[in-house]
């Protein structure tokens, strides 16, 4: 993981994007505090896909609880 100041990120934005495109995760700090993280778009999408798959697997493994004693139309006001 690479850390750059906000001023350096602004001045060298092309370089920061080039690093990110190579898979680097860049943290931008302002006055010594982290304010942003720039990560490759594909990596974020892959993490999201894995999280979604894990959630669906868990939900499919759960048994259905409760009874459905209402109709869909009852959810909306007339």
How far apart CA 28 and CA 8 sit, in angstroms, is 9
Domain assignment present for residue 70? The answer is no
**Per-residue pLDDT at 45:** 77
Domain assignment present for residue 3? The answer is yes
Domain assignment present for residue 51? The answer is no
Domain assignment present for residue 9? The answer is yes
- Residues 42, 46, 49, 54, Cα dihedral to 10°: -170
Total domains in the chain come to 1
- Tell me the CATH number at 10: 3.40.1620.10
pLDDT in tens, 17-57: 999 999 999 999 999 999 999 998 876 678 888 999 999 99
Domain assignment present for residue 72? The answer is no
**Per-residue pLDDT at 52:** 93
pTM, rounded to two decimals: 0.55
Query: Which one has a higher pLDDT value, 45 or 15?
Result: 15
Domain range for 36 is 1-42
Q: Is the pLDDT of residue 68 over 70?
A: yes
Domain assignment present for residue 73? The answer is no
Domain assignment present for residue 12? The answer is yes
């Amino acid at each position: 993981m690479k850390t750059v100041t906000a001023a350096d990120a602004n001045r060298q934005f092309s370089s920061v994007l080039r690093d990110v495109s190579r898979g680097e995760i860049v943290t931008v700090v302002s006055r010594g505090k982290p304010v942003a993280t720039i990560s490759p778009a594909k990596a974020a999408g892959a993490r999201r896909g894995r999280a979604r798959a894990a959630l669906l697997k868990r939900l499919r493994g759960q048994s259905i609880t409760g009874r459905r004693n209402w109709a869909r139309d009852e959810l909306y006001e007339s």
